[in-house]
């Protein structure tokens, strides 16, 4: 069962290409605003879909993702990542 992602879960902008979120897996998202990143399904359901993260926290997350692209690899967004920004 795959859920389709049509907007960026973090900054809510429409995605040029929809992504799929495998159950308990990792979605690869190409956001025009945040850039490429990988989002863990459990993080998405626990923190984003549940609205546990406030809008300013999501904005901080989006900024942190953009900043990490200097490393060359799309950042993987899981619970630890969000705790360390």
Smaller CB distance to Zn ion: residue 36 or 46?
A: 36
Task: Compute the distance between CA of residue 55 and CA of residue 61 in angstroms, rounded to an integer.
Answer: 10
* Of 5, 19, 21, 34, the one binding Zn ion by CB under 5 A: 34
Q: At its nearest, how many Å lie between Zn ion and the CB of residue 31?
A: 3
Task: Compute the distance between CA of residue 33 and CA of residue 66 in angstroms, rounded to an integer.
Answer: 8
Whether 35 and 13 have beta carbons less than 8 Å apart is answered as: no
Residues 3-22 contacting Zn ion, CB under 5 A: 8, 10-11
* 53 is a contact residue toward Zn ion (CB under 5 A): no
């Amino acid at each position: 069962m795959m859920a389709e992602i049509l907007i960026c879960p973090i900054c809510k902008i429409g995605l040029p290409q929809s992504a799929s979120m495998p159950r308990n897996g990792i979605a690869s998202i190409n956001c025009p605003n945040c850039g490429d990143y990988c989002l863990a399904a459990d993080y998405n359901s626990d923190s984003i879909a549940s609205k546990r993260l406030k809008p300013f926290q999501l904005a901080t997350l989006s900024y942190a993702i953009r900043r990490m692209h200097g490393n060359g690899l799309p950042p993987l967004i899981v619970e630890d990542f969000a705790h360390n920004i």
